[in-house]
Amino acid sequence: MQRRHFLKAATAAGLAAGLPAVAAPPSNKRELMLSWLAGQGPAGYTPAAFFLHFGDPYKSGLPAARRHLEFFHHTGMDFLKIQFEQTYTRMDFLQKPADWSKLKLAKLDFYEPLLQTVRELVR
């Protein structure tokens, strides 16, 4: 090998070693959102999502999970918000801010329909 070629190759290798590695582009929405949150997302990119209620047959469990995923994939949105479909019983004693301290919290079983939807989505 000629000295000139050796020095060029050595210089190029030395320069390359000092440069930060270029990260591979995110391969899915989760990686894209995590890189965006870390300040490493695509320049000028703003994540977006759309939310709506899907109707009575799709309020919980597997039907709700399937409808959420269908909407997520169809729109190409960046993140998924699981709609809260339970209704609360009206509490007539809630008239002023101080009344909130009298409110009894719902038990975990109240949230079971939502938790079923979450379990299906995670699966």
What mean pLDDT is predicted for residues 20-42? 80
Place of tokens 């899915």: 28
What is the pLDDT averaged over residues 64-84? 92
| Alpha-carbon gap, residue 15 to 95, rounded angstroms | 70
61 touches 120 (CB < 8 A): yes
Share of the chain above pLDDT 70, in %: 80
The pLDDT of residue 83 is above 70: yes
Mean pLDDT value of segment 87-110: 93
* pLDDT score recorded for residue 29: 86
**Residue pair 119/64 in contact by the 8 Å Cβ criterion:** no
Average pLDDT over residues 75-103: 92
Residue matched to tokens 């509490």 = 91
How many CA atoms lie within 13 Å of 90's alpha carbon, on the beta-carbon side? 2
Average pLDDT, the chain: 84
Task: Name the DSSP letter for residue 81.
Answer: -
Residue 33 has phi, psi (to 5 degrees) of: -65, -40
Give the residue-averaged pLDDT of 73-78: 91
